Structure formats: structure tokens, C-alpha cells
Amino acid sequence: MPMSPDLRETSHRRLNPLRGDWVVVSPHRTQRPWQGRREAVATDAQPRHDPGCYLCAGNLRANGARNPDYRSTFAFDNDFAALKSDAGDARFEDGLMVAEAESGVCRVICFSPRHDLTLARMGPAGIVPVVEAFVAQARELGARADVRSVQAFENRGEIMGCSNPHPHGQVWASRHEPNELVAETASQAAHFARHGRPMLADYLARELALGERIVFENECFACLVPFWATWPFETMLLPKRPLGALDDLDAGDVAALAAALSELTIRYDNLFETSFPYSMGFHQRPADGAPHPEWTLHAHFYPPLLRSASVKKFMVGFEMLGSPQRDITPEAAAGRLRALPATHYLDRAAPAP
Ligand code: H2U
Ligand code: ZN
């Protein structure tokens, strides 16, 4: 059943069934004038190799280790790892104050030796080794007895606090499931117990039938703006066949996922004709050896930009203290992303003079 026209024009709230919470949607509010903060837009052209970059091939890192002369991707243990594997088993409990040791492994993955590239500029074939590196890391770390959950992610752009423009991502493997994963495991398990089917497979089937929040699809993956999206141009990548973890991808899935990552990041760059910032990451089943048929591998993209390269969305006030809120509807955001060209704006032929 299509959504009632009333909800398209008036304030309402939408359930996020993955997290089990709500987002407030205010479609009537998009005309609000903006006199607030504009972000500086980083437009510096980057060199192919930066002698001062700690991620470029052959360079020294901050702790004195030297990167090899790598030609494709390169993974290393984070020199300032947030989680250490030798954290021990200590536990403290005093009423409401509870603490316990948390252990893990943090790695950095350079996507390319080229300092000046981003996923949006690497092309599908160039992204295949990046997906393969995420898969290899997730497989290796997920097989460890002291790891229960593996997060593979990319934090892109100065506005997101990314420390270096060199294309890179991270993998954090931890003894405990992090908060977001605990919530997603619980909601997917509850759906599976009730319906006998994975929640996100049911969700994608419905979205493909409706079409209005689909941005694009290829043979193995679909990209959509979730019905419950919080960030203005938030998207998810979902597999069309049952996949529970990066470990389950075959060669065809890897190629299709690389193509989807390429197309999405190009569309994002085209949205405001800027190198588009975001935090993205893959969510996958717990690495506890159980089959977890309830789980569907997926990627979330959380971009901060709202209406231009220089105006970002702030999650403050009611959103920090109450619930997140959005103005542009998920349907309108999907429509805008869908209408954009799939060719990068920097590759489009300049108009004849
Ligand atoms: P971000 O750009 O998302 O901050 O990630 C860069 C990571 O690289 C960060 O976690 C690590 C930082 O700890 N790093 C090293 O491991 N070695 C270095 O020489 C510098 C940065
Ligand atoms: Zn570099």
C-alpha cells in the first residue's frame, strides 16, 4: 500500500526496525532559510604521491615504521589502535558503574598507492581489490577466538574528522558486539523468529516492488534511501541474495559490490559537485561461528551534507536530546540521487566554447 498523501506533507515519525527507534520527518520544513554555518570546502588538488603522507607507498608512518612500495591495497595494524588484543579480563562493578576489559585488533587499509584518488575516482575495477581487502581482513580477524564482531568502514572527508585525504578505510575487530550491532542482531533475530525470513530480505523485496526509494541496482546489490533514514542523503546497499557477512561474497558479488560502491560514490560527488564526505561501513553477522540465518550483510552510508557542499546537517538540540529529525523526505532524497548522472562530473566533456 503506498504511503498516505497526508504523511507526505505533514510532520510524522517513522520506525527504524533495525535499531528499534524512531526518526521525526518534517516534510513541510524544507523551505526554512539558512543563515547558519557554512563549512569550508576542501578543494586543494592532491598530488599523486605526497612525501609527507603517512599512508603513501614507501613513506614513514608516525611511529617510524616504513610503508612498503605497495602497488594495490595495503593493510597494517593501526599504530594508534583503539583496541589492543592483550587487554586482559578485568571487570569492575559497583552498582550502576560497570566496566570490563575490551580487546580487539584495529587495522588501516590503504585503498590505493595514489594519494589523489577517492572511491568515486577509482572505477569499479579499481575498487575490486578494496572489497577483496575488506573481505580478507574480515575473514582473518573474524576467525580469531577472541573476536566476536568485525567492523569494516571508511570515514571520508575533513568534515567527518578524517585525518588524511589518502584513500583509506579501517577494520576494527572486537571481543564484544558494538552497540549498533547488538541492536541490529536483536531486531533481525526477532523478525526471523516471527516470520522465518531475514528482515532485510523482506524489506528489500518490498522496496524493489515500490521503487520510490531505490537509487539504483545491479545484478547482486541494490542501493536505497531507507524508509527510516536519519541523515539527509543516507543510503544502504543491500544484497539481492542471502549473504550474512563479507565472508560469503563470491567473485561475482565482489565485482557487483565494487560496481555499486563506484556508482554510489560517483552519484554522491555529483550531488553537490564536490568530493562528498561520509562515514560508511559494513554490518555483518557476529563472528561467533553460529550460522545467524537472520542476518543480512549490508552497508550504511551516513553523509553529513544537507543542501550544498558547505551546509551540513547538525544532529543537535531535539535530535541529541530527543529523536533525530529530518526535513527532506527519504523519497525526495532518493529521487534526487536517482536522477543524477552515473558519470562523474569531472569526467563529463566540457561544453564546447
Ligand atoms: P582516519 O583518517 O579515519 O582518522 O584514520 C586514520 C587512521 O590511521 C587513524 O586511526 C592511523 C590513525 O590512528 N594512523 C596510523 O596507524 N599510523 C600513522 O602513521 C598515522 C595514522
Ligand atoms: Zn598519501
**Residue 53 CA: which ligand is closest?**
2
Q: Is 78 in the pocket of ligand 1 (CB under 6 A)?
A: yes
Ligand 1 mean position to 26 CA, how many Å? 38
Q: Report pLDDT for 152.
A: 98
Q: Is 87 in the pocket of ligand 1 (CB under 6 A)?
A: no
Q: Report pLDDT for 202.
A: 98
Residue whose CA lies nearest to ligand 1 atom number 15: 79
State the Cα–Cα distance between residues 113 and 321, nearest whole angstrom.
43
Q: Which helix (H) or strand (E) holds 134?
A: helix 123-142
How many Cβ atoms sit within 10 Å of the Cβ of residue 193?
9
Q: Which residues are found with C-beta within 5 Å of the ion, ligand 2?
A: 50, 53, 55-56, 115, 166
Any idea what the CATH number is for the domain that residue 268 is in? 3.30.428.10
Grid coordinates representing 178 are: 558494538
Q: Which helix (H) or strand (E) holds 244?
A: none
Ligand 1 mean position to 282 CA, how many Å? 19
* Residue 16 located in a structural domain: no
State the Cα–Cα distance between residues 289 and 183, nearest whole angstrom.
19
* Residue 237 located in a structural domain: yes
Ligand 1 mean position to 169 CA, how many Å? 9
Residue whose CA lies nearest to ligand 1 atom number 13: 80
Q: Helices (DSSP H) in 280-339: which residue ranges?
A: 318-321, 330-339
Pick from 78, 243, 98, 253: nearest CA to 171: 78
Ligand 1 mean position to 163 CA, how many Å? 7
Side-chain-side CA neighbours of residue 96 (13 Å) = 0
Pick from 276, 178, 192: nearest CA to 242: 192
| pTM score | 0.95
**Residue 164 CA: which ligand is closest?**
1
Is 344 noted as a catalytic residue in this protein?
A: no
State the Cα–Cα distance between residues 62 and 214, nearest whole angstrom.
43
Residues in the chain, total: 353
Strand order from edge to edge, sheet including 21-25: 12-16, 21-25, 325-326
* Residue 178 located in a structural domain: yes
State the Cα–Cα distance between residues 183 and 229, nearest whole angstrom.
16
Domain count, the chain: 1
**Residue 172 CA: which ligand is closest?**
1
* Residue 133 located in a structural domain: yes
Per the CB < 8 A criterion, the answer to whether 285 and 150 are in contact is no
Ligand 1 mean position to 288 CA, how many Å? 28
Grid coordinates representing 347 are: 569526467
- What number does the ligand 1 atom closest to the CA of 65 have? 19
Q: Is 162 in the pocket of ligand 1 (CB under 6 A)?
A: yes
Q: Is 26 in the pocket of ligand 1 (CB under 6 A)?
A: no
- Which segments of the chain are extended strands (E)? 12-16, 21-25, 74-77, 91-94, 97-100, 104-110, 149-156, 168-174, 214-217, 221-224, 235-239, 278-283, 298-302, 305-308, 311-312, 325-326
Residues 6+ apart with CB under 8 A from 194: none
Ligand 2 mean position to 313 CA, how many Å? 29
* Residue 68 located in a structural domain: yes
State the Cα–Cα distance between residues 208 and 184, nearest whole angstrom.
22
For residue 206, give its domain range.
46-341
Tell me which of 115, 166, 168, 298 is the catalytic residue: 168
Question: pLDDT digits over 206-224, tens only?
Answer: 999 999 999 999 999 999 9
* Residue 291 located in a structural domain: yes
b/e code 260-283 from CB counts within 10 Å (16+ = b): bbbbbbbbbbbbbebbbbbbbbbb
* Residue 11 located in a structural domain: no
pLDDT in tens, the chain (353 residues): 677 777 888 999 999 999 999 999 998 876 565 566 667 666 668 999 999 999 999 999 999 999 999 999 999 999 999 999 999 999 999 999 999 999 999 999 999 999 999 999 999 999 999 999 999 999 999 999 999 999 999 999 888 888 799 999 999 999 999 999 999 999 999 999 999 999 999 999 999 999 999 999 999 999 999 999 999 999 999 999 999 999 999 999 999 999 999 999 999 999 999 999 999 999 999 999 999 999 999 999 999 998 888 888 999 999 999 999 999 999 999 999 999 999 999 998 766 66
Q: Report pLDDT for 94.
A: 98
State the Cα–Cα distance between residues 348 and 345, nearest whole angstrom.
5
Q: Is 160 in the pocket of ligand 1 (CB under 6 A)?
A: no
- What number does the ligand 1 atom closest to the CA of 160 have? 3
Pick from 59, 156, 174: nearest CA to 111: 156
* Residue 198 located in a structural domain: yes
